[in-house]
Amino acid sequence: MSPASIRDISKRVFTIGGFSKSFSMTGWRIGYCHANKNLILKMVKIQQHILTNVPLFIQKAAIKALTIKSNHIKKFNNLINKNHLYACKVLENNSFFYFKKSYGGFFIFLKILRKNVSSDKFCTQLLKKHNVAVTPGKYFGNNYNKYIRISLSQNYLIFKKAINLINLFTKKF
């Protein structure tokens, strides 16, 4: 339920949304804002100098995303949850990592607990040995060099195999 649908506060609610995550339109850079008319008019004055246009095919895709009846979002959320639960089950007790459950998003971050192992070294060797690609944390800033990022949005059977290979790899590392 949107807070903007509550009549008593609707004129004070400022809603911003996008299509990247909710409709799998990442990189297409389209979103929306709902607010009172005076605020929207002020925003338009700024926005018209920042963004010149959103291509027509992206606008049409956004309209279709809002109007089509589909349960793909629910299916995708179920996949993310299923993959997360499997990763938790397998990696929570792996002493190579510090693993903390995620409560949203498409990724999990695992902290490498071994002193002389950087995220880049771990990811490179995992890719060479098992053809499993995970992202070195160093690309997210200096404080993340001991982390790896794993995407939860992969097909379940492929994801399960990759998690098992990561777990096996750490036992022999």
Helix, strand, coil shares, percent, the chain, to 5? 50, 15, 35
Last residue of a domain, one of 67, 83, 109: 67
Domain enclosing residue 135, as ranges: 72-172
Which DSSP state fits 64?
H
60 and 76 share one domain: no
Cβ atoms within 10 Å of 131's Cβ, excluding its own: 9
56 and 116 share one domain: no
164 and 106 share one domain: yes
Please report, rounded to a whole number, the percentage of residues in the chain having pLDDT higher than 90: 60
Most confidently modeled range among 95-104, 106-115, 141-150, 156-165: 156-165
pTM score, two decimals?
Answer: 0.74
Least confident of 14-18, 51-55, 105-109, 122-126: 51-55
45 and 100 share one domain: no
- Domain count for the chain: 2
Pairing of strands 107-112, 135-136: unpaired
131 and 165 share one domain: yes
Q: What's the chain's length in residues?
A: 173
